[in-house]
Structure 1
Amino acid sequence: MTSSTSHAHHHEPGHHHEHDHGHPDTDDSLAQVLDLDAEIFAPYLAGVTARIAERAGEGVTHVVDLGSGTGTGTFALLERFPGARVTAVDSSPAMLARLVDAARAKGLGDRVDTLETDAGAGLAGITGADLVWASASLHHVDDPAAALAGVHAALRPGGLLAVAELDGMPHFLPDDAVAGRPGLETRCREALAGLHAEQMPHLGADWGAMLAEAGLLVEDERTERLELRDPLPAGVGRYAHVVLDRIRGALDGRVDPADLAALGTLVDGGPADVRHRDDLVVRTTRSLWVARRPADSA
């Protein structure tokens, strides 16, 4: 997940995109989610970029990371395409500043450009891109058709668009995670799904159909259900903590107060805090569509 997508809605990652920017604490929390997700699911991201590279072929020189967030996708693409520059696109100047600082620290500053704009507002000034990577960003746009038209215009004929999406943030908890509140995470996720339906109606959309309607040829479509069990990668406890804390904030006033209090015990530093638990299991569903602008399209 790469983008910093409007995780004001506490969905994320990955991710992930157009995010809940504007408050430093919120940006810091989102940045942690994006970076931890990329760290924990690094093998998945590497596999995805490898499949994209197979379809892109040789000669990739310009890649666009649409909804770049902290740059996890940008850096994965720079590694996968060593002869390419990446234009990182995000609506948050704070996220872009983080990305630029990280690129310089990695010695990659001369291969990264930035464009501050909303993912749905078009890609002004970008033409002839070989690849556009949109990770967990397109479901935040108000008008997917307009956003995809902008991507179509930014791609060179024969260029690729890769859309990576997820079904929300991963699940972490056993059913009996909090004594006396069985099914806590399930109820919280159901409430979160209702919030997402209000604020992100395109989450879970059939992007294959929308890509075809935008005049792009879908060449690959796959959904993978990922599950990580003991021994878990380092950082899972911290990842679960920041995700559940964001969910708690999003659901304040939307769930039974007893459930909200129980959720609080998982992030308050006490014995039930997810950073101290050894019974976490990370489950998530991730989807990928790869589509090509026809070589003969105007």
Structure 2
Amino acid sequence: MAHDHRHHVHHENEHHAGLADILDLDAEVLHEHLTEVMAWVHGRAGDPATVLDLGAGTGAGTLALARRFPDARITAVDVSPQMLEYLRHKAHAAGVAGRIRTVEADLDTRGDIPGETSADLVWAANSLHHLADPVGTLRTIRAAIRPGGHLVALEMSAFPRFLPGDTLEARCHAAVTEARVSDMPHLGADWAPLLRAAGFTVQDEHRFEIDLRPPLPEATGRYAQATLRRLRDGLEGRLSPEDLAALEALAEAVPHRADLTVQASRTAWLATP
């Protein structure tokens, strides 16, 4: 049993390390997008004194919030202790650790937001679609926002695409779309009806289109490669062995492709309790 436990821990560490790499690469490649989103939030939510980052991951959003709102105190919540450890290291390196505290919690199993009852701003970026009971958890979130405060939910409509016209990448995304109906039904959802069902008033909605062309950020090739490899792992059993092998070959080659781009869209909803 000890061997099995060590194998499980090793697998979990690899999983978190791989996801952490993608989150960090996403933040590096799409830094202009994140800056644009933060400016949009600032223009509509003002200058919050207390911010709650739900599903903080490795802290890309947490640090962007800290930069945009230099006087705010931020609580970063995530289910993964490994992610929160990454976040603490990054906050220390950025010189903002004194304004950021981390809380390990699974919002699917809690009836409250740990340690928060009156946040000025709740930020949830690409995290709500993981919830088992979105409306129930949104009600919990609403109770943690002070009167006059705001929730900003930012969600991707689909995973990024890197090679326009590539038929293999298109087949992979079609397989992901089919799989998410059962595995992740809220990915790409319209969150306005869910927010209203939880008692929120939706004040604004904005779609951010991402279309990066050469010259691209230096990390783009590594970002595309890591994303395609994670895509391949998630499609095990859903694609033919030939397609899986071809996808691995594509991931190996993609950093050197001259036709590499980054195309994605993300939508933000601004809501009040």
Q: Pick from 189, 212, 217: which aligns with 2:196?
A: 212
Corresponding position of 1:103:
91
CA contact (8 A) 2:202 2:271 kept: yes
**How far apart, in 1, do the equivalents of 2:261 and 2:46 lie?**
37
1:55 aligned partner: 44
2:69 maps to which of 64, 74, 81: 81
- State the aligned residue count: 262
8 Å contact kept, 1:119–1:138:
no
Find the aligned partners of 1:233 and 1:103 in 2 and give their Cα distance: 23
Q: Which amino acid counterpart does residue 87 of structure 2 have in structure 1?
A: L
Alignment deviations for residues 264-283 of structure 1 (CA, whole Å, 9 cap, x no partner): 11234xxxx11111111211
Give the partner amino acid of 2:251: V
2:31 maps to a residue whose letter is A
Distance 1:22 1:146 in 2: 31
The match for 1:263 among 232, 239, 247 is 247
Match of 1:14 in 2: none
Any conservation in 1 of the 2:157–2:189 contact (CA below 8 Å)? no
**Contact between 1:93 and 1:116, CA under 8 Å: does it hold in 2?**
yes
User: How far apart in 1 are the matches of 2:197 and 2:232?
Assistant: 38
Secondary structure in structure 1 of the residue aligned to 2:202 = strand
1 CA distance for matches of 2:11 and 2:121? 29
Inter-partner Cα distance in structure 2 for 1:101 and 1:61: 23
| Other-structure match for 2:260 | 280
| Higher mean C-alpha deviation, range 60-69 or range 223-232 | 223-232
User: 1:23 and 1:237 mapped to 2: Cα distance?
Assistant: 25
Tell me the residue number matched to 1:64. Answer: 52
> In 2, Cα distance between the equivalents of 1:81 and 1:210?
28
Supply the AA of the counterpart residue of 1:153.
A
What is the CA–CA distance in structure 1 between the aligned matches of 2:231 and 2:46, rounded to whole Å? 40
Give runs of aligned pairs for residues 237-248 of structure 1, distance below 5 A: 237-248=221-232
Structure-1 residue corresponding to 2:5? none
Instruction: Measure how far apart 1:255 and its partner are.
Output: 0.8
Kept in 1: contact 2:232–2:247 (CA 8 A)? yes
Cα 1:22–1:86 change in 2 (3 A) is farther
**Aligned match for 2:78, one of 75, 90, 96:** 90
Give the distance between the partners of 2:232 and 2:189, measured in 1 at CA: 25
1:13 corresponds to which residue? none
Q: Does 1:26 align with 2:15?
A: yes
> What are the superposed Cα offsets for residues 129-158 of structure 1, whole Å, 9 maximum, x if unpaired?
000000000011010111101111110011
Distance 1:48 1:280 in 2: 24
Return the alpha-carbon distance in structure 2 between the equivalents of residues 265 and 174 of structure 1: 17
Aligned counterpart, 2:125: 135
How does the TM-score come out when normalised to structure 2?
0.92
Percent identity, please.
Answer: 48
Cα deviation for residue 50 of structure 1 reads 1.2
TM-score, normalised to structure 1's length?
A: 0.84
In the aligned structure 2, how far is the partner of 1:61 from the partner of 1:174? 43
Report the counterpart of residue 9 of structure 1 in structure 2: none
Which has the larger displacement, 196-205 or 150-159? 196-205
1:168 Cα deviation from its structure 2 partner: 2.5
Cα deviation for residue 91 of structure 1 reads 0.1
Per-residue deviation, 1:22: 6.7
Moved more, 167-176 or 95-104: 167-176
> 1:185 & 1:276 partners in 2: Cα distance?
16
- Bigger helix fraction: 2
Contact preservation (8 Å) 1:67, 1:119: no
